[in-house]
C-alpha cells in the first residue's frame, strides 16, 4: 500500500477543495492511503460531507499552516508545526511515501530540502513543469512536454544539468508512457559549443549517456515540442515558463477583445468555438495535476496554488504513479550507471 | 430414512416446490414451542450488506441471478461478524430483496460461510408478477416492513440491531420500523407513509394490522448502514445517532464492542478476516478506527480500552499461529498512534435532535432519487 501525504491546508482553495480532491482520490486509488495533514477538526467536519473511503483517508493533525504569501524561510522557522512542515516530516520519518501540496511553493520546496535526502548521485533538486506543444508523444499521445528546472536551483554546474536530464527522462517515461523521451538542453543555438560553460560541458557528458539526448534546442523549439524533456537552470526555466504563460494569457485577451470589437470577428470565433474548447481542454492544467519536484528520495508533486478538487485528485494520482513506477529508484539506478 | 420420514417429505413436496419456484410464500420459522424469547435480534439485509452484489446494470443483475454459491463474495469481515453475533439468546434474521428463486443458492452461500440464521425471508416477485402488482417489484417498504413486523410478532426481543446498505430505502425502512415498534409513529401517520410508498390497499391494511400487533419497545439500539456506494456519511445524520454509517465491518465491530455486544476477541476475528481477504492491511484498520472516532461514533477511550482488552485476548491465544502479523504490541502501538494523530482538538459531536422524522418526505425524496438514478442508467438496488 502506498501512503500519499497531502498538505490539506495549502493552496488558495484549501482546505475544502484539497480535502475533496483527496476524498475522490481515495475512491480511485484502491491500493493507496491518503494522509491529510492539517487542522483535524476542520478536516473532520469536511470529510463526512464527501464521498470517500473512510478506511483509506487518514487525518494527521497540524495546528498551523503557512500562508501563500508568507516568506518561506521565516514561516518555516516560526511554524515548525505547520501542515507542510509536518507533512514533509511524516515522509522523512517513513510514515508516508510521497507528498502533494498546493501551498506556498517556496515553503514546500524548503520543507522537503530541510528534511529529505537527495537521491544517490543527484546534486541538486529540480522543479519540473509541463506545457502543451504542437507534437504529441508516448503511448498516451501526451501533448505535454516537460521543462526542468523552473525555479528550484538558480545557479547550476554541468553535473546538475546532467542530473536534471536523467530525472526528467525518468519522469517522462513514467508519466507519459514514453519509452525513449527526447531530451534536450536549452541554449542559444543548436551547436554543441553554444551556451554557457555548464551547458557545453553537460552536452558533452550527455552525448555519452544512454539517454535519448537530441542535443541543444532554442527557445522557439519549446512550443513546437521538438524535445519531450527540456533541461535548463532554474533561472532560465522560470523565465521561459512565465513567458509561455504570459503569451497564452495575451492570446486569450486578444480573443476577448476581438469578440467585443466586431461582429465578423465574433462570428469567426463562434465558428472556431469547438476547436477553442478542445485547445482549452488540452491546456487545462487541472488535468495534469501538478509539477514534480525531482531529485529527492521521495516524490513530491507541487500542485498549482489555485488547484481545485479535480486538480488535486490528478496530482495525487501522479504521486501514486510515481510510487508505483518507482520513479526515485529509477533515477538512482540511472545515475549509478552514468557514474 | 424411515418410511414415516419419507412419507412426511413426500407430503410436503408440493409446498417445497411451490416455495422453490416462488408460487408460495416461505413461512419463516418462528420460535419453537416453549423456547425462551431472544433478548437480542440482529436483522441483516443481504445484497450490498453481506454480499458484494453489483446491481448497477441489467448485466450485473443477470450475473447475480446466475452465480452459484461459491462465486458469491461476502464483504470482508461480514462473515466473522455474523458468526460472532450468533450467540445464545441472539436471533439472526435475514430479510433480503432478492427473489425467492434464489433461496437455494443464497442458503448454500451462507452454509459455505458457516453462517447460522434463524429466519431467512426473500421477496416473492413471481407472485407479484402473477398478481399484476408491478409496483411491488421495486417497492421496498411494503415488502420489508411487514416482513420485519411479522418476525417481531413471532419472536419479540428486548433489543434489536439492524444492518443495511446505503441505498436510501434501508435507512428509511429501518428507522420507520424502529419508530413503529417504539410506538412513535401513529397508525394514521403510518398509513400516510404507506400511501407515499405507493403500497397496494390490502397490503397497507395488513401492515397497519401488523404494526398494531407488534410488541412495542424502545429496543432498537443500532442501525448499521454499510456504505457500499461510499455515500457521504453526513447524509445519514438526519436519521439520528442510533444509525451508524460504516465503511467496513471492522467499524461495525468497534461500535458493537463499545455497546458491550462484542468482546475484544470477537473484534479481532473480524479484523483477521478482513486482513485475510487481502483487501485490507493493518494500516486500513487503524485508519478505520480513526475514522469512527473522528465521526464521533466511538470515543478515544473506547479505542484505547480495545487495544488493552485485545492485548489480553491475543495473550490468551486469539492470534495464535498468525506468524504473518507483527507482534501484537506493535499493532496496538500503531493503533494508539493513529488515535493520537487526531490531536487534542474537538472532534465531531452529535447534537441530539429529537424532532420526529418526516417519513412521507423521506419516501418522496427516495423515489425522486431512484428516478434520477434510473435516468442515468442505474437499476435500483437492495
ipTM confidence: 0.84
Chain B residues inside the 8 Å CB shell of A56: 284, 287
Contact status of B96 with chain A (Cβ, < 8 Å): no
CB contact under 8 A, A54 and B346: no
Nearest chain A alpha carbon to B345: A41
B187: helix, strand or coil: helix
Residue with the bigger pLDDT between B119 and A271: it is B119
Residue B380, pLDDT > 60, answer no
Residue A331, pLDDT > 50, answer yes
Least confident piece of the model among A44-48, A305-309, B378-382: B378-382
Residue B23, pLDDT > 70, answer no
Rounded Cα distance between B260 and A76, Å, is: 47
Chain A residues inside the 8 Å CB shell of B232: 48-52
**CA distances (Å), A143 to each of A147, A281, A310, B209, B222, in order?**
13, 11, 19, 68, 54
Rounded Cα distance between A82 and A37, Å, is: 9
Q: Determine the length of chain A.
A: 339
* pLDDT at site A266: 78
CB contact under 8 A, B287 and A27: no
**CATH 3.40.50.1000 domain span(s) along chain B:** 36-246+352-377
Place of cell 513567458: A243
Domains A1-122+295-326 and A127-284 share a fold: yes
* pLDDT at site B221: 86
Bridge partner residues of A7 (DSSP): A37
pLDDT (tens digit per residue) in B94-143: 999 888 888 999 999 999 999 999 999 998 877 778 778 787 777 889 99
pLDDT band at B29 (very low <50, low <70, confident <90, very high): low
CATH architecture of residue range(s) A1-122+295-326: 3-Layer(aba) Sandwich (3.40)
**CA distances (Å), A174 to each of A138, A238, A297, A324, B329, in order?**
10, 24, 16, 9, 39
Task: Return the CATH fold of A127-284.
Answer: Isopropylmalate Dehydrogenase (3.40.718)
- Average pLDDT score over chain A: 90
* pLDDT at site B219: 84
Nearest chain B alpha carbon to A59: B342
Rounded Cα distance between A275 and A196, Å, is: 41
Chain A residues inside the 8 Å CB shell of B338: 58
CATH no., domain B36-246+352-377: 3.40.50.1000
CB contact under 8 A, A44 and B348: yes
Bridge partner residues of A300 (DSSP): A99, A293
If we measure between CA atoms, which residue out of B213, B156, B182, B119 comes closest to residue B39? Answer: B156
Hey, which residues 134-153 in chain B have their CB within 8 Å of chain A? none
All three cell numbers of B350, joined, read 452529535
Residue A280, pLDDT > 70, answer no
What b/e readout covers A248-284, taking b as 16+ CB neighbours within 10 angstroms? eeeeeeeeeeeeeeeeeeeeeeeeeeeeeeeeeeeee
Rounded Cα distance between A100 and B290, Å, is: 22
Of the candidates A3, A27, A39, which has its C-beta nearest B230's C-beta? A27
CB contact under 8 A, B341 and A60: yes
Residue A23, pLDDT > 90, answer yes
* pLDDT at site B382: 42
Q: Where are the domains of chain A?
A: 1-122+295-326, 127-284
Chain A residues inside the 8 Å CB shell of B349: none
- Average pLDDT score over chain B: 87
If we measure between CA atoms, which residue out of A190, A178, A232, A185 comes closest to residue A205? Answer: A185
Which DSSP category does B316 fall into?
I
* pLDDT at site A281: 60
Nearest chain B alpha carbon to A86: B341
Residue with the bigger pLDDT between A36 and B365: it is A36
Cβ atoms of B198 and B139 closer than 8 Å: yes
| Dihedral sign of CA atoms B73, B79, B81, B86 in order | positive
Chain A residues within 8 A (CB-CB) of chain B?
A: 1, 3, 27, 33, 39-41, 44-45, 47-61, 63
* pLDDT at site B26: 62
* pLDDT at site A211: 94
pLDDT (tens digit per residue) in B191-217: 999 999 999 999 999 999 999 999 998
Query: Phi and psi (nearest 5°) for A33?
Result: -115, 135
Contact status of B94 with chain A (Cβ, < 8 Å): no
* pLDDT at site B77: 97
Least confident piece of the model among B37-51, B316-330, B340-354: B340-354
Chain B residues inside the 8 Å CB shell of A33: 283-284, 287
pLDDT (tens digit per residue) in A174-232: 988 888 999 999 999 999 999 999 999 999 999 999 999 999 999 999 888 899 999 99
Mean pLDDT of B251-270: 96
pLDDT band at B53 (very low <50, low <70, confident <90, very high): confident
All three cell numbers of B61, joined, read 443483475
pLDDT band at B381 (very low <50, low <70, confident <90, very high): very low
Residue B152, pLDDT > 60, answer yes
Number of neighbouring beta carbons within 10 Å of residue B39: 13
**B55-64, long-range: CB within 8 Å, 24+ apart, which pairs?**
B55/B379, B55/B380, B55/B381, B55/B382, B56/B378, B56/B379, B56/B381, B57/B377, B57/B378, B57/B379, B58/B379, B60/B379, B61/B379
Q: CA-based Rg of chain B, rounded to a whole angstrom? A: 22
Query: Phi and psi (nearest 5°) for A98?
Result: -150, 160
**CA distances (Å), B131 to each of A239, A337, B17, B121, in order?**
77, 78, 19, 20
* pLDDT at site B210: 96
Best of B284, B293, B300 to mutate (most A CBs within 10 Å, chain A): B284
Query: Phi and psi (nearest 5°) for B183?
Result: 75, 20
Bridge partner residues of A305 (DSSP): none
Best of B226, B232, B300 to mutate (most A CBs within 10 Å, chain A): B232
Place of cell 419516501: B363
Query: Looking at CA atoms only, how far is residue A25 from chain B in angstroms?
Result: 13
Amino acid at each position: 500500500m502506498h501512503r500519499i501525504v497531502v498538505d490539506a491546508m495549502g493552496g488558495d482553495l484549501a482546505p475544502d477543495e484539497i480535502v475533496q480532491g483527496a476524498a475522490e482520490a481515495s475512491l480511485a486509488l484502491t491500493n493507496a492511503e491518503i494522509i491529510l495533514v492539517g487542522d483535524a477538526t476542520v478536516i473532520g467536519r469536511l470529510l463526512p460531507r464527501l464521498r470517500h473511503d473512510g478506511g483509506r483517508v487518514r487525518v494527521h493533525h497540524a495546528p498551523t499552516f503557512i500562508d501563500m504569501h508568507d516568506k518561506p524561510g521565516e514561516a518555516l522557522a516560526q511554524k515548525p508545526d505547520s501542515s507542510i512542515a509536518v507533512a514533509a516530516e511524516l515522509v522523512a520519518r517513513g510514515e508516508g511515501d510521497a507528498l502533494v501540496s498546493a501551498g506556498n511553493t517556496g515553503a514546500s520546496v524548503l520543507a522537503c530540502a530541510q528534511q529529505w535526502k537527495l537521491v544517490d548521485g543527484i546534486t541538486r533538486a529540480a522543479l519540473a513543469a509541463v506545457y502543451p506543444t504542437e507534437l504529441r508523444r508516448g503511448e498516451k499521445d501526451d501533448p505535454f512536454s516537460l521543462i526542468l528546472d523552473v525555479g528550484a536551483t538558480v545557479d547550476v554546474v554541468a553535473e546538475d544539468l546532467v542530473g536534471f536530464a536523467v530525472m526528467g527522462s525518468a519522469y517522462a517515461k513514467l508519466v507519459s508512457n514514453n519509452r525513449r523521451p527526447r531530451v534536450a538542453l536549452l541554449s542559444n543555438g543548436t551547436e554543441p559549443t553554444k551556451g554557457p560553460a555548464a551547458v557545453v560541458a553537460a552536452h558533452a557528458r550527455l552525448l555519452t549517456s544512454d539517454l535519448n539526448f537530441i542535443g541543444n534546442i532554442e527557445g522557439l523549439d519549446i512550443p513546437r515540442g521538438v524535445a519531450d524533456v527540456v533541461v535548463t537552470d532554474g533561472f532560465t526555466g522560470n523565465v521561459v515558463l512565465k513567458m509561455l504563460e504570459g503569451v497564452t494569457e495575451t492570446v486569450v485577451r486578444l480573443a476577448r477583445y476581438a469578440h467585443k470589437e466586431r461582429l465578423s470577428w465574433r462570428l469567426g470565433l463562434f465558428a472556431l468555438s469547438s476547436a477553442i474548447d478542445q485547445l482549452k481542454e488540452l491546456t487545462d492544467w487541472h488535468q495534469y495535476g501538478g509539477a514534480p519536484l525531482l531529485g529527492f528520495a521521495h516524490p513530491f508533486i507541487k500542485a498549482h496554488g489555485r488547484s481545485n478538487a479535480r486538480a488535486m485528485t490528478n496530482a495525487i494520482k501522479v504521486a501514486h504513479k510515481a510510487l508505483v513506477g518507482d520513479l526515485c529508484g529509477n533515477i538512482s539506478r540511472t545515475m549509478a550507471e552514468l557514474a | 430414512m424411515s418410511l414415516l420420514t419419507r412419507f412426511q417429505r413426500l407430503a410436503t413436496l408440493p409446498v417445497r416446490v411451490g416455495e422453490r419456484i416462488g408460487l408460495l410464500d416461505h413461512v419463516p420459522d418462528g420460535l419453537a414451542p416453549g423456547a425462551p424469547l431472544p433478548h437480542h435480534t440482529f436483522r441483516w439485509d443481504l445484497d450490498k450488506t453481506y454480499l458484494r452484489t453489483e446491481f448497477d446494470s441489467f448485466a450485473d443483475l443477470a450475473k447475480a441471478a446466475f452465480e452459484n454459491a461459491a462465486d458469491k463474495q461476502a464483504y470482508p469481515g461480514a462473515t466473522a461478524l455474523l458468526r460472532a453475533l450468533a450467540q445464545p439468546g441472539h436471533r439472526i434474521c435475514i430479510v433480503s430483496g432478492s427473489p425467492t428463486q434464489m433461496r437455494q443458492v443464497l442458503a448454500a452461500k451462507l452454509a459455505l460461510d458457516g453462517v447460522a440464521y434463524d429466519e431467512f425471508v426473500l421477496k416473492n416477485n413471481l407472485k407479484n408478477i402473477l398478481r399484476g402488482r408491478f409496483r411491488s417489484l421495486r417497492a421496498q417498504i411494503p415488502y420489508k416492513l411487514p416482513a420485519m413486523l411479522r418476525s417481531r410478532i413471532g419472536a419479540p426481543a428486548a433489543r434489536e440491531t439492524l444492518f443495511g446498505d446505503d441505498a436510501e430505502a434501508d435507512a428509511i425502512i429501518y428507522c420507520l420500523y424502529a419508530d413503529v415498534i417504539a410506538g412513535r409513529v401513529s397508525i394514521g401517520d403510518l398509513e400516510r407513509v404507506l400511501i407515499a410508498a405507493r403500497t397496494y390497499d390490502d397490503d397497507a391494511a395488513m401492515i397497519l394490522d401488523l404494526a398494531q400487533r407488534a410488541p412495542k419497545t424502545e429496543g432498537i439500539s443500532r442501525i448499521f448502514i454499510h456504505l457500499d456506494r461510499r455515500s457521504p456519511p453526513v447524509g445519514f445524520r438526519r436519521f439520528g445517532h442510533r444509525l451508524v454509517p460504516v465503511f467496513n465491518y471492522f467499524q461495525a465491530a468497534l461500535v458493537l464492542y463499545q455497546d458491550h455486544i462484542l468482546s475484544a476477541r470477537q473484534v479481532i476475528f473480524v479484523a483477521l478476516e478482513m486482513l485475510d481477504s487481502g483487501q485490507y492491511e493493518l494500516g486500513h484498520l487503524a485508519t478505520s478506527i480513526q475514522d469512527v472516532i473522528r465521526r464521533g461514533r466511538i470515543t478515544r477511550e473506547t479505542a484505547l480500552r480495545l487495544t488493552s482488552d485485545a492485548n489480553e485476548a491475543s495473550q490468551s491465544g486469539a492470534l495464535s499461529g498468525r506468524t504473518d502479523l507483527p507482534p501484537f504490541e506493535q499493532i496496538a502501538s500503531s493503533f494508539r498512534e493513529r488515535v493520537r494523530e487526531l490531536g487534542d482538538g474537538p472532534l465531531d459531536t452529535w447534537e441530539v435532535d429529537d424532532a420526529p422524522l418526516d417519513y412521507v418526505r423521506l419516501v418522496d425524496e427516495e423515489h425522486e432519487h431512484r428516478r434520477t438514478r434510473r435516468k442515468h442508467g442505474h437499476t435500483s438496488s437492495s
